[in-house]
Chains A and B, each alone.
Chain A
Amino acid sequence: MTHLSARGLKKSFGTLQVLKGVDLDIELGEALCIIGPSGSGKSTLLRCLNLLIVPDEGQVFLDNVLLTNPRIRPEWVRQQIGMVFQQFNLFTHLSATKNVMLGLRHGKKVSRAKAHEKAVFELNRVGLGSKLDAYPAQLSGGQQQRVAIARALAMDPKVILFDEPTSALDPESIHEVLEVMAQLAKERMTMAVVTHEMGFAREVSDRVVFFDAGKILEQGSPSEIFDHPAHDRTKSFMDKILR
């Protein structure tokens, strides 16, 4: 069953067309990896899915609800679709717990006690039960990104979008963040991951999408894309990164 889908997404910034008509389907409980060269529009695609960027053309559906309908509140959309950023973007003025609580308290209007309970639960889930009161600057990169994942999880989203979650991390932290994400994939959380971690894409994801120059070039199971790419562009990309 198609969970989140995009039809004919187009987006231009000035004269630069970043998305050139993208069709994408994400199934319920699927871990989808989006790979491709830098600057190909992967991040823009993710941001269009939760309306952080409004696409110029095309539609986004979540469970057959048209999200790009101007009468739908974007805040509601973003409560359904969580997002984890490359630069973590934790609220610097709030402790880890309060970071997780903010969306619950003021977006979903959950009571303070319930939000706190949920925040503690989610932080424990990502292994940060001992860092509840730490401020972002007191946490390592990997810990910050795990708080960010907890923050997204706390909203009970239907999908979580990961925008290069490990690109700003050192190798050790990459491992701890990927472990949390692999665990989520195991629990059948629906997720779309833009990543350069080919190992993760191959091992964990159900499907891999190769994205280039604003379009999806090809998609399929990890082994299809990594071992038997159909497209020349995909082949040359794989040759360069897997050597």
Chain B
Amino acid sequence: MTDPTPDQPLQTSEGGPNGPSPEAEGHLGAPSAAGTPSGGLGTRVRELLWKSRTSLMLLGMSLAVAAGLFFAMGAAHFYDIRFIISTFPQALSPTETALEFTTFTFVLGMFGAIGLGLVRAYPPKKVRRRSLVWRWPLYGFASGYVAAIRGTPFLVQMYVVFYILIFSYPTLTFGGWSVYYLAGFFALLINTTGYQTEAFRGGFQSVEAGQTEAGKAVGLSRFQVFVRVTLPQSFRLITLPLANEWISNFKTATILSYIGIFEIFFWARTDIAGHLGRNLEALVMLALIYLMVNVTVSRVVTWVEKVRRIPGLGVPIPEVALPKRLFGLGSRARQGRT
């Protein structure tokens, strides 16, 4: 689960009122990479690869470190590498289940989170007009919901949902899913909705007031301003926090095994550790699967965000050479690290 977001808007890369930041101006030099394709496909691919060389190198190094550790511990006979390699294909189906749970709840939760985030982003503090009194309970609900989700362990949330469903509707099924799967799905859904709500709230609040004012000034309704201006800008501002939330959701999904959902943790615990007695092998396989998925997702999203970035919009990424970024050489590099 993501760390609690501080109740502040995200930083944007706007360089202040007097014009674009130097970082944004840097993009002027490379217009061909900023969305206006030029040259053949090969040139464009090479350009992309060159632009994302840092991401690729970091990805390669992460994988190399993981692989090194994996083989070193295998060589020391902590576990049986050959067993792990031959059993690995079995992990495919439970991994799929975990990915499905994660992604479906994530996408569905996003819709709720956009609505709740909107409610949370604009507290009705200044609203004294009687016609808008209804916004108070709505805001109270959204805030209470977020506080409850972020303030309690997922294990507890899941069991609450599970027992409510299993006692009240024990025969509930939907599309071939038993009540166990439904309970797991709902629990993960309400959990990720709560966390995503805070991401969207931060995103909405980071969109400058001038942007919405300009939207109104060109004759858009409040709803149109939200859909055409606030929402697209927020998505770009919170791409990385959202990716983090997907990863958190994926890791949280392990807990679903406690109510009998056959995902990877359940598979590793019963089939590998339980039946075959291969405890350490099970854990190593789990770790490898999570690592592969999460590192890939994280790197791909960072890369896409960087390549598809609109100059002047988004949280600035310092342009620091890789050795500096890795080893913190030089004061500028240290400033840039977060």
Binding site for B on A (CB under 8 A): 50, 52, 73-76, 78-79, 82-83, 85, 87, 89-93, 102-103, 106-108, 133, 135-141, 144, 148, 151-152, 155, 168
Contacts and interface: CB of A to CB of B under 8 A. Distances in A.
B24 interface: yes
A138 B28 contact: yes
Nearest to B18: A168
Interface stretch (B209-217, B258-266, B270-278): B209-217
Contact of B310 (A73, A85, A93): A93
Given A106-B224, A141-B18, A135 B310 contact: yes
Interface string B17-30: 11111001101100
Interface stretch (B45-53, B142-150, B225-233): B225-233
Interface of B: 14, 17-21, 24-25, 27-28, 31, 34, 36, 208, 210-211, 213-221, 224, 228-229, 232-233, 236, 310-313
A79 B20 CA distance: 28
Given A137-B27, A138-B27, A138-B28, A93 B236 contact: yes
A157 B19 CA distance: 27
Contacts of A133: 36
Contact of B219 (A79, A136, A139, A141): A79
A50 B18 contact: no
Contacts of B214: 85, 89-91, 148
Contacts of B20: 136-139
A86 to B, nearest CB: 8
Contact of B19 (A74, A92, A140): A140
Given A93-B236, A107-B219, A137 B24 contact: yes
Given A52-B213, A91-B211, A106-B220, 19 more contacts: A75-B216, A78-B218, A82-B218, A89-B211, A89-B214, A92-B233, A93-B229, A102-B215, A102-B228, A103-B219, A108-B219, A133-B36, A137-B20, A138-B27, A138-B311, A139-B20, A141-B18, A155-B219, A168-B17
B24 A138 contact: yes
Contacts of A141: 18-19
A92 B313 contact: yes
Contacts of B21: 137
Contacts of A135: 34, 310-313
Contacts, number: 106
B312 A87 contact: no
A159 to B, nearest CB: 12
Contacts of A138: 20, 24-25, 27-28, 31, 34, 311-312
A148 B25 CA distance: 19
A85 B210 contact: yes
* Residue of A52, A137, A148 with most chain B CB atoms under a 10 A cut-off: A137
B270 to A, nearest CB: 48
A87 B220 CA distance: 19
Contacts of A91: 211, 214-215, 229, 233
Contact of B211 (A74, A92, A137, A140): A92
A18 to B, nearest CB: 16
A103 B220 contact: yes
A75 B220 contact: yes
A238 B294 CA distance: 66
Contacts of A152: 217-218
